[in-house]
Structure 1
Amino acid sequence: MIAITGASGELGRLVVTSLLSSEPAASLRLLVRDPAKVADLVALGAEAVVFDYNRPETLAPALAGVDRLLFISSSEVGSRAAQHTAVIDAAKAAGVSLLVYTSILRAPQSGMLLAAEHAVTEAHLARSGLAHVILRNGWYLENFMGSVPAAIEHGAVFGASGAGRISAAARADYAAAAAAVLRQGAASGTILELAGDTSFTKADLAAEIARQSGKPVAYTDMSEAAFKDLLVQVGLPEGFAHALADADTATARGDLFDDGKALSRLIGRPTVTLAEAVAATLKR
């Protein structure tokens, strides 16, 4: 039995789809807050069980009989350390054979605010004695594609990343990697730094949008504080805006760059490029 937390989310659904290409649906348990959101997958034969990071009583029962667990990290920044600890403890109590956790590039060494709770989680996994694999995912190309229409409208990509390079890959690339590890297994303690085959700066992003759209788009570099204020002005919550602006500053330091190509080796194909992602976005 393979279980996937957050199976109704964007990454989780892609992992399930990838697994269904080789695994019987009946061998998949979808751990979700609301089973109605995966009714289409249940119709294929998968099992859906309530699993809520904020309701500890739902955790261990949902993991009974699970061999391999994909633990997709919580999206609730600030609450993740406690939530993740509870999930790990429940997995150990349930006798899960292998836990695969989605972390962030070089979590223990990263100075990024978003990396701190991942580092805490990784440390708890190491102490738990539970067999585990850590997938340290880089940035998703999708993180940038949502702003492509606005970049074309305003003629600008904004940020605080300077000339920092970003080794991003598509969400589907990371999902394929997670599915591969769930199928094949791996030695406990394996840590995989996963990132795109190629890297780009935000200036490169602006240039690619301009090239493909035929519209003038340039990168405007800002201070972290000014970028955070801009994000708040366009409607992001203060805390989230702060975390994103901090991530841009971390990019300038090199925290989101990796040229090891472990991701493409794991999935057996090149990762999606920036040009391909922009092209797909403009076609929508």
Structure 2
Amino acid sequence: MIVITAPTGNIGRHLLSGLLTSAPAAGEELRVIVRDPARLPDEARGAVDVVTGSHADADVLDRAFDGADAVFWLVPPDAALTPHDAYIGFSRPAVKALAAHGVGHVVGISALGRGTALADRAGIVTTSLAMDDLIAESGAAYRALACASFFENFLEEADSIREHGFFTDTVEADRKAPLVAVADIAAAAADLLLDRSWTGTGSIPLLGPEDLSVNDLARIMTAQFGRPVRYERQALDDMYTTLVGYGLNEAFVQSIVDMKRAKDEGLDAGITRTPETTSPTSFEQWCAQVLKPAVLS
């Protein structure tokens, strides 16, 4: 039995779709934890066991982890909370439930940065790494998928690109860094969940096929969309003021700013790209298939 948390989110929906195809052939049953079962895809209905509720709830986890062999663990960021409460507090009931039910394997979503000089001052990333350490205490074999920044983050810029011809971030325009598609993250998670020959704890970086700067991304978008797209850099102080103005928790906003600062200082650099750390989808492919329809719609 494989349990999937956040099955209707960006990563979870790709994971669920892939496992609905591959799990039966491997003799695996699927169970999902979901707040609103109506959001599940039609193909999941009747094909998966559904536990309704939040995976922060100890009673929900007790039902969901009963008889489970493996768990996909993803914490949906909650900007109304402090980073500690949003990640560590959220995950504590899961650690207890994993140990109580003897779940053997857990695959989690985390971030690049472990072992770097910036890891202890990288905001949300620092908290994510602490969450990994907490889950490792459950006794389950654990693999943290240490993800680069997501291509999908640029979907939040689709309106700006369409209406004004630019997107924003806070990084230096020519700093190259890895980026990854969420579908590739889901595929890596599926492989680990289905082949549980691995033991112990560790992390697996997912870097995408190449490092790109935001200027590179603007150039690719321009070619894909047939119209000029430029990058405009936002100051970290301006980002902080904007996000706090939306009513987000100030400590959570500061952790976002700290992460952005660390990334601009090279947090994601230095990981060797190998066949194991290189995911296949290029930004050009993703841009053509996902971002271009969103921008040109």
TM-score by length of 2: 0.83
- The 10-residue stretch of structure 1 (83-92 or 69-78) with the greater mean CA deviation from structure 2: 69-78
Q: Cα offset for 1:214?
A: 3.0
Amino acid at match of 1:100: V
Aligned partner of 2:190 in structure 1 is 179
Q: Cα offset for 1:54?
A: 3.7
Aligned partner of 2:99 in structure 1 is 92
Q: Cα offset for 1:244?
A: 4.3
8 A contact 1:51–1:62 mirrored in 2:
no
Structure 1, unaligned runs of 5 or more: none
Q: 1:207 to 1:231 in 2, by over 3 A?
A: farther
CA displacement 1:137-181 (0-9 Å, x = unmatched): 221101113313412432323222103323111110000000000
Aligned partner of 1:76 in structure 2 is 78
- Distance in 2, matches of 1:155 and 1:101, equals 36
Aligned partner of 1:55 in structure 2 is 57
8 A contact 2:51–2:63 mirrored in 1:
no
User: Out of 15, 26, 29, which is 2:31 matched to?
Assistant: 29
Amino acid at match of 2:281: V
User: Out of 95, 105, 111, which is 2:112 matched to?
Assistant: 105
Q: Among all aligned residue pairs of Structure 1 and Structure 2, give the percentage whose two residues are the same amino acid.
A: 24
- Distance in 1, matches of 2:40 and 2:284, equals 32
Query: Is 2:179 aligned against 1:199?
Result: no
- Distance in 1, matches of 2:166 and 2:243, equals 14
Amino acid at match of 1:12: G
How large is the Cα RMSD of the aligned pairs? 2.6
Q: How does 1:108-119 map to 2 (within 5 A)?
A: 109=116, 110=119, 111-119=121-129
Q: 1:176 to 1:92 in 2, by over 3 A?
A: same
- Distance in 2, matches of 1:245 and 1:117, equals 13
Aligned partner of 2:139 in structure 1 is 129
8 A contact 1:152–1:215 mirrored in 2:
no
Q: Cα offset for 1:258?
A: 5.7
Aligned residues: 280
Amino acid at match of 1:72: L
8 A contact 2:56–2:91 mirrored in 1:
no
- Distance in 2, matches of 1:71 and 1:164, equals 31
TM-score by length of 1: 0.87
Structure 2, unaligned runs of 5 or more: none
- Distance in 1, matches of 2:280 and 2:200, equals 26
Query: Is 2:281 aligned against 1:272?
Result: yes
Aligned partner of 1:8 in structure 2 is 8
- Distance in 1, matches of 2:92 and 2:243, equals 31
- Distance in 2, matches of 1:151 and 1:127, equals 44
- Distance in 2, matches of 1:91 and 1:33, equals 20
- Distance in 2, matches of 1:50 and 1:149, equals 34
**Secondary structure, aligned partner of 1:265:** coil
- The 10-residue stretch of structure 1 (220-229 or 237-246) with the greater mean CA deviation from structure 2: 237-246
Amino acid at match of 1:192: I
- Distance in 2, matches of 1:189 and 1:26, equals 23
8 A contact 2:3–2:30 mirrored in 1:
yes
